[in-house]
Structures are given as structure tokens and as C-alpha cells.
Structure 1
Amino acid sequence: MTLYTLPKDFLLGASFSAWQTEGWAGKKEKCDHFVDMMYKAAPERWHNGIGPAIATDFYHKWESDIELMAKSGMETVRTSVDWTRFIDNYEQGTVNEDGARFYDQVIDGLLKHGIEPMICLEHWELPVSLYEKYGGYASSFVVDCYVKFAEKVFERYRNKVKYWWTFNEPIVIPQLCFMDGFWYPYRSDTKVAMQWIYGKILCNAKAIKRFRQMNISGSIGIILNPALVYGRSTDNPQDVQAQKIADLFYWRSFMDPCIKGEFPLELIELLEKEACMFTYREEDLQIIKENTIDILGMNYYQPMRVMAQRFQWNETAPFHPGKYFEEYNLQGKKVNPWRGWEIYPQGIYDIAMRIKLEYDNIPWLISENGMGVEDEGRYRDASGIIQDDYRIEFMKEHLAYLLNSVSEGSNCKGYMVWNWLDNISPVNSLKNRYGLVELDPEHNYARIMKKSGEWFKRLHDARQFQIDSLEKEYR
């Protein structure tokens, strides 16, 4: 058995978003955001048709939920401010006082219970009207609308919030909606996707610039989910090149400009070659260069494994990064059988070392890490508590590798789970559950602590945990 001790001031907590928890209660009509539109366009694609209408009913249950967060050992929680709830006129940036008062209550409630609030400005909650009228983040006008929104949130909570995030997983909508065509509007246009990516990076920099102009104390950063890309081999030049290009698109596209202030030259050259280069202004590139993040949030669930493309690419097809690589299915890997995702705890160590060596050891934290499991009721004991030992082991293994990296100099400041409570997610809805606390929609959306929630509280209290051994490294 190996004993691990959390460093002093190492934060423990959980993350969630506005759209996945609040529901539509209290919102004005025609105030949909992007995920609302995704759901309304095809509710049949969402498991059992469950979407964001009620979500976890946090809008009504926030007070008792915060009490339960404290009971489950949360030192900090991160949520988003729903742009469409908080702002009345998106183009002018005027505040909807009714919507803002809800966030006033939530933030004050967290502080009352000794929980550090982290505020994310956007977790895919772009107002639908700004997409339909202007094209979303492909528009410089929408970038300016975002900055007006950010400024209003900064003004209201500057004396209550110490940790700020401009975006959560800003690559997801451009990738899955506009590049891969998996989600609404089901497009396959890499040029549009790259314009959205550029627009979000510019939003990030402009919001940071305004944050600093306002002399707000605290840290501001961005939460990314860059793919940790492993190649099939390191001695085959084609595999090496496949890994490099996948890394350009799915790791460096956000990491480099947000931390180093510049886009990778290799990415620019490839986009120009494939006629997918985004439109930009030189003065905006300077803003990106001069306004990099203070702190980085990293969401980690699984690695990405690639190998050289085996088939000839159809040159008449729209360009996609997959032209240069394909997925590699590593034999013998450990897999979450319900979600289908690889479980590779060592990846969290490799992320830490890469940040240390390539990104000046910027302060960072794990902002999401968790395990989604289907039909967890099968693990309920006689007292009605879900015995999710698999989730406890998942957290232990990832935390152990993370703390190993800290002992080797990684500047990691904390570990946050996804999620403290079961919540909906796109298409998956409530099929795979992630929470330390069970959500029971059949009984007035009751909350029931799982075994993992009790374990997390003990971790919070003791600041230590034991683990038998870590699995052997494999690549």
C-alpha cells in the first residue's frame, strides 16, 4: 500500500455548468443558447429524449445542493454563468436583473458554506440569436458581444470570485458541430470550425485584457480539453507525422495561443495548404500575444491514439484533419465498458510533465476528471446507497499519478471531479452517470450520496488516501 498526501492549499472540488444543471425555469422566452438549439433541433437523438429543460433542477434546488456540496467535501466548485440568463440584450450587454439575482444567490451561498466559487463565462451557452444572425464566434461582432457580457460579470462579482475562466472546452462545438458533423447543425466544414476556434481565442484574449484593465484581483484562465495524443509507434516516420498533425489540431491549436500567445506556425502552414485558414487582423493577433492566461484548467478523461492513415484520401471531400491520421485501437487497453473510453491514469502525469516542460510550468489544475457509468442502480446496496467502488478506484489512480507529477515539480494546484451530482450531457443525457451524488428524476429529482461521495468527504478531511499499486505503464 502506498500513502499519498495532498499538498497544502491543493484544491479539491467539482465542476458543472449552467446548461447541464439549471433548467429553463426563470428564463425569458426566446432566450435559448446553443445547446438548447441542439436539443430542440433533434430531441430524439438525446437518450430517452431528456434534455436541458429541467436538467438537474438546480434553479430550484441550489440552496440544498450547496449544503450537500459542503457535506461531500467540496472546497471549490466551478459553474458557468448562462449568457442567455444573465444578459437581457446580447448586443448591448445590458444585464437581466432577475437572471443575475439567481447567480448572486448561488455565489453568496457557496461563500457562506466555505466553498470557493469559480466562474466560467461560457460553457457552450452562446445565445442562439448571435449564431443565427451573425454566425456565432466566426463573427468579430459576436466577439465584441462576448466581451461586453464578460465585463458585466466581472463588474458584478469582482469582490467575490478569485478564479475566473473565459471558456470551458472551447474546441468542442467547433469540432463536433462544424468539423465532424456529429451535433447540430451537422456541418463538415473545417474552415468554419477554424474560424470559430480563432474567434474563441480572440474572445479569451480580449476578455483577459478587459479583466486586467479593470484591475480585478484574482486569476483568469481558460479550461481546455486538449487531446493527449500518442502515436502507434515512435520509430515509424509516418506514425510520428500522424501524431504531430493530430497534436497540432487537438492540443496545440488552443494551448499555444492561450499560453504562449502565438499559433503554431506548422498549423498555419497546413491550414493555408488546405484552404482552411481563418481570417484575422494583425492587431488582433497582437492582442492574443499580449493577453495570455494566468492559470490553466485541464479536463482529462481519456487519451487519443493515432497512426498513419492507411487509405488514400478522397481529395474531392471537404478537408478534415483525419486526412493525415486515423484512430489507433491499442490492444489490451483498459476501457470503461459503459462509455467506451480508454482509462489511462498515467495520461494525467504526462499532461503535467508536458505543461512543465513546454509551457513554462504555468499554474494549472485538473478541472474535470470522472467516469461515466450506465445503470448504476445495479450497484445499490440494501440501504439504497450505490456502491461505486469503480469510481473511487478511478479517482485514486488518477490522483496518484497527478501527485507523482507534483512531487516532480508540476505546478498543479488542484483536482476537480466531473461531477459532484449526476447531470445531463449532450446526446448522452442521463444514460451514463458521473456523479458522486445520485440524481433520481423519478422521485422529485432527489439527491442521494453514493459511496464515492462519502469517500471524497473523507479525502477532504484526512488529506490522504492509500492505493495498492499503480498499473504498469503502457504506450
Structure 2
Amino acid sequence: MNGFPEGFLWGGATAANQCEGGWDLDGKGVSCAEMCTNGAHKKPKRITRTIEPDALYPTHDGIDFYHHYKEDIAMFAEMGFKCYRFSINWTRIYPTGFEEIPNEKGLQFYENVIDECLKYGIEPLITLSHYEMPFAMCREFNGWADRRAIELFVKYAGTVLRRFKGKVKYWLTFNEINCGMLPMGNFMSLGILHPGTEDILHQVDVPQDRFQGLHHQFVASALTVRMAHEIDPDYKVGCMIAYMLSYPLTCDPGDVELARERNTVNNYYCSDVMVRGSYPYFAPRVWKENGVELNITDEDREILRAGTVDFYSHSYYMSICASCDPEKDKASGNILGGARNPYLKATAWDWQIDPMGLRIMLNEVYGRYGIPIMVVENGLGTQDTVNEDGSIDDGYRIDYLRDHIKAMKEALKDGVEIWGYTPWGCIDLVSNADGEMAKRYGFIYVDKQDDGTGSYARSRKKSFYWYKNVIATNGRDLGEEVNAG
């Protein structure tokens, strides 16, 4: 196999709260993501309870996709996209989450985006919840920690599933849902905000609330899957997991066991529920060690069994090493911790580059579940330099993506069924981890800077032309040198 399967969904991915802007336009409400100020590398963004007039909130403007979506989608089409993964901002549809009637202007905006994609033959892949929920729900009952969030989410999901029937085929329920297993996922993923929490990386953590909130998301997802199939039997609904690959740092059995435990718990606790329809065998130990006693009803268990997903999707950026030595185990410097792998290079943000890990995890996941997979996030976030002539030579991004595409190609040869590939941040956007623009991922450069200045002008990087050629050849030609002309 030299190329990829016919009909392979090449494309790119973004999230509403990181690119849209227009945070308070046309009836939109405030989401949790919009209560976070800017940060920087090794400087966490800050969570505020009210909008502070002197603080900078990067998501309020994003890259102004709200007003530039036609231009941006035209550029995606120029690259040859077959698929565009984006998310719907819940608060554009139900500003507080509690309304009975949806906001028509919000629905119309997303219908316009979908229609623009379809005009160019681009398949929409829509994430229903990508690290945002109505902040009013966070204030009222601490987000997903409260069971009432289930009904409100299902109401929202049903509204958009019915509205876009016949125009959208592929859906994801919750982005990187397994980040709710980490303390940083309290506010970011679950809308849980305990007194004393000030920054995104050092949150006050109550595991009981966090794991219960995650359970509520599982139930909401399963109800949504079942509802989607009732609305349109052609709908395909997937889970989305942040795959956190761990290797043992050494052949010390303690390192090997620690890596096994992290791989199993971090990567499969959530997907086992969503793909298999029940909690995995190791869940009771996870609950016990976290001091958690979940409220799981018999009805919940039946809902989970009946609402399993149609496909598996995931993000993959890096791998880490596990070490029983606590000093080594926090030496990598990346957001997930872990020991530094001496065989790998790392980005300027300390994310270790490991294309082989993508092949490894694809085989692991397919061997476990046997259902189709989409790689819906993968990319290199780093600084780009604009040359005097306006060009951007991002060969480092091409190298990263080429090597990961090669790994996917090997996984396909192994027999893994992969439906599509949507690299993250196909256009520059606000970084989720630290709320900065300097960490750029895109094939398209956006003139927006960390201090909020910029013209929002779009321009093509070298990787734009390279990826255009990759798509045109269906992955057969991964060459580095592709001329713009």
C-alpha cells in the first residue's frame, strides 16, 4: 500500500472556543472557556469568576472565525480538504443552558458554516462539546458534577442533530473526555470550579465530584448516540480520547508496571465505557484509590449498554516515559509530566515527538475494540517566523506531520481501519493549554498576537502547499519540497 484507502477523509480540526471569537454577539452566552485569561509557556492561564476589565481573554476574539469563516473554508478547500472537524459552541445555541427555545442566530451561523463546507464537497465532522459549557451551569450547580447537566446537554444535542439532519454525517460527543480524569480537567472539561481554584494547572480537586461528573458525561453521550440513531440512521457518532502513550523508562519491572497502569487507566477507562458499554474491570480499584463512591443507577447502566459509539477518534501529540523514581518521573517538562525519553527530540514546549507511538497506539486501540478509527488531532505547536517577503518556512511542521502520516500508513498495512486524519489547528488559533497565539499549529498563519493586536490577515505557510500535495496524491507523495506556484 503506497497511498491511503479511497475516500480517506483528509482534513483539519479546530474548536469553537479557540477560533470563533464573537463571544458576546448575536445572543451568545458566556462559556467556561471564556472565563480564562491569557497565559504563556510555563505560565498557566487564570480562571476568573467575573470578567475583569483589565485582563486579556484571548478566546473572546480568537482568530475571528465568526466573521472569516467563508475565507477560511475557501482556503481549506484550496488545500483539498475532504473533511473539516469543528465544534459547536453550546452557548450560541442555549446561552445559559437553561433556555427552552434555542437561539436561532446561533443555529443559523452553524448552518452557514456547514453549507459553506458542503459547497466545496467538504464533509463536516462536528464535536458537540469541546472544552466549553455554559458558565451559568457552572455557577448554578458546579457543571457536570450535577446530574441535571445530562438533561440540558441532551436537549442541546437533540436541537442540533435535528437541525442539521441530511447535512452532517459524523459527530463526536465530548472532546478528549478522558481529560476529566485529571485534576486540570475539573474546569476545562467538566465545568467544575471549587473555591480556591485560580489557575488551570493547579485546581482544587475533589475526585468524588470529578469522577461523578465524568459518569454524567458518559450517560449524556450514550443518550445522545441513541437519539442520533433515532433521528437519522445514517448518523455516525464517535468518542474522542486524548491518547496519552506511556513507555517504561527502563526494564525495571516497577517502571513496566507503572507504564501499563497509566496506559490502561488514562487511555481506556473512558473509551471502554463508550465503546463497550460498561465500566472496565479495573474501574473499582481506580474509584477506591481516589476515595470515590459513584452513584450509578440501574437505568444508567442500561443507557450505557444501549448507547455505544460507532467509531473511535483520538488526539495524539506525544508520548512520555514512566519511572518509579519521582524525580525522573517529572523531568519531561510537558503538561502530562513523565520522564524524558532519551531517544526522542522535543518541541520548544517540551512535547516529545514520537511518530512510532502513533502506529503503536493505533494497533493497541484497534486490537482492543475492532471499530473504525479517526485521528482527529495531531500536530506541531511552535513559534513561526514571518520572513520579510511574508513567507513562512515551516519545514519542521512538515517533518512532524510527514512522519506521523507514515506511521498511519504502516498501521493501515498492519490492518487497522482508519477513516480519516484531521491535523490540529489547521489554521492558527488560541492554544487551549496556555491561552497564547505564539504556539502555532496551522497550515495558515493568522496575524493575531499574544497581546491581542493584529490584523487577522490570513497567509499560507510552506506546509499549506505540502499538505495540498499530500491530499492530492492521497498520501502517496509525502515529499518535502513543494513549490507554491
Q: How does 1:246-325 map to 2 (within 5 A)?
A: 246-308=262-324, 310=326
Which whole-Å CA distance do the structure 1 matches of 2:33 and 2:168 have between them? Answer: 26
Q: What TM-score do you get using the length of structure 1 for normalisation?
A: 0.87
The change in CA–CA distance for 1:22 and 1:458 in structure 2 (over 3 A counts) is same
8 A contact 2:26–2:105 mirrored in 1: no
Q: Do residues 370 (structure 1) and 379 (structure 2) align? A: yes
1:38 alignment partner in structure 2: 36
1:127 alignment partner in structure 2: 134
8 A contact 2:8–2:420 mirrored in 1: yes
1:322 alignment partner in structure 2: none
8 A contact 1:372–1:433 mirrored in 2: yes
SS in 1 for 2:321: strand
8 A contact 1:388–1:451 mirrored in 2: yes
Q: Do residues 456 (structure 1) and 467 (structure 2) align? A: yes
Give CA deviations for 1:349-393 in whole Å, capped at 9, x if unaligned: 01111122111x21011101100112x11xx44532101011111
Q: Among 131, 152, 155, which residue is 2:162 paired with?
A: 155
1:178 alignment partner in structure 2: 186
Q: Do residues 20 (structure 1) and 27 (structure 2) align? A: no
Give CA deviations for 1:395-444 in whole Å, capped at 9, x if unaligned: 11000011111011101111111121100023242021100000012552
Which whole-Å CA distance do the structure 1 matches of 2:200 and 2:150 have between them? Answer: 23
Q: Among 467, 474, 477, which residue is 1:465 paired with?
A: 477
SS in 1 for 2:19: coil
2:245 alignment partner in structure 1: 228
Q: Among 217, 225, 236, which residue is 1:219 paired with?
A: 236
The change in CA–CA distance for 1:309 and 1:158 in structure 2 (over 3 A counts) is farther
8 A contact 2:14–2:87 mirrored in 1: yes
8 A contact 1:4–1:400 mirrored in 2: no
Q: Do residues 343 (structure 1) and 353 (structure 2) align? A: yes
The change in CA–CA distance for 1:23 and 1:308 in structure 2 (over 3 A counts) is same
Q: Do residues 114 (structure 1) and 121 (structure 2) align? A: yes
Q: Do residues 430 (structure 1) and 437 (structure 2) align? A: yes
Task: Give the Å deviation of 1:91.
Answer: 2.7
The change in CA–CA distance for 1:26 and 1:114 in structure 2 (over 3 A counts) is farther
Task: Give the Å deviation of 1:189.
Answer: 2.4
Task: Give the Å deviation of 1:327.
Answer: 2.3
Query: Which amino acid in the other structure matches residue 379 of structure 2?
Result: G
1:192 alignment partner in structure 2: 209
Query: Which amino acid in the other structure matches residue 356 of structure 1?
Result: Y
1:330 alignment partner in structure 2: 341
SS in 2 for 1:438: strand
The change in CA–CA distance for 1:342 and 1:65 in structure 2 (over 3 A counts) is same
1:397 alignment partner in structure 2: 403
1:314 alignment partner in structure 2: none
Which whole-Å CA distance do the structure 2 matches of 1:160 and 1:99 have between them? Answer: 17
Query: Which amino acid in the other structure matches residue 33 of structure 2?
Result: V
Task: Give the Å deviation of 1:184.
Answer: 7.6
Q: What TM-score do you get using the length of structure 2 for normalisation?
A: 0.86
The count of aligned residue pairs is 446
Which whole-Å CA distance do the structure 2 matches of 1:269 and 1:345 have between them? Answer: 32
SS in 2 for 1:433: coil
Query: Which amino acid in the other structure matches residue 64 of structure 1?
Result: E
Query: Which amino acid in the other structure matches residue 465 of structure 1?
Result: D
Which whole-Å CA distance do the structure 2 matches of 1:125 and 1:274 have between them? Answer: 25
8 A contact 1:391–1:452 mirrored in 2: yes
Q: How does 1:353-368 map to 2 (within 5 A)?
A: 353-359=363-369, 361-368=370-377
Q: Do residues 145 (structure 1) and 155 (structure 2) align? A: no
Give CA deviations for 1:435-455 in whole Å, capped at 9, x if unaligned: 000001255200000000111
2:51 alignment partner in structure 1: none
Q: Do residues 383 (structure 1) and 389 (structure 2) align? A: yes
8 A contact 2:32–2:187 mirrored in 1: no
Which whole-Å CA distance do the structure 2 matches of 1:304 and 1:332 have between them? Answer: 11
The change in CA–CA distance for 1:268 and 1:145 in structure 2 (over 3 A counts) is same
SS in 2 for 1:239: helix
Task: Give the Å deviation of 1:97.
Answer: 0.4
SS in 1 for 2:349: coil
The change in CA–CA distance for 1:295 and 1:78 in structure 2 (over 3 A counts) is same
- Identity value in percent: 26
When you count strand as a share of all residues, which structure comes out higher? 1
Query: Which amino acid in the other structure matches residue 62 of structure 1?
Result: Y
Which whole-Å CA distance do the structure 1 matches of 2:39 and 2:440 have between them? Answer: 24
SS in 1 for 2:472: helix
2:332 alignment partner in structure 1: none
Query: Which amino acid in the other structure matches residue 402 of structure 1?
Result: M
Task: Give the Å deviation of 1:200.
Answer: 1.5
Task: Give the Å deviation of 1:330.
Answer: 2.1
2:331 alignment partner in structure 1: none
The change in CA–CA distance for 1:310 and 1:384 in structure 2 (over 3 A counts) is closer
Q: Do residues 415 (structure 1) and 427 (structure 2) align? A: no
Which whole-Å CA distance do the structure 2 matches of 1:277 and 1:233 have between them? Answer: 35
8 A contact 1:248–1:267 mirrored in 2: no
8 A contact 2:207–2:291 mirrored in 1: no
8 A contact 2:239–2:271 mirrored in 1: no
Query: Which amino acid in the other structure matches residue 144 of structure 1?
Result: E
2:7 alignment partner in structure 1: 9
Task: Give the Å deviation of 1:187.
Answer: 1.5
- Give unpaired runs (5+ residues) of structure 2: 47-54, 189-196, 328-335, 481-485
Which whole-Å CA distance do the structure 2 matches of 1:103 and 1:63 have between them? Answer: 12
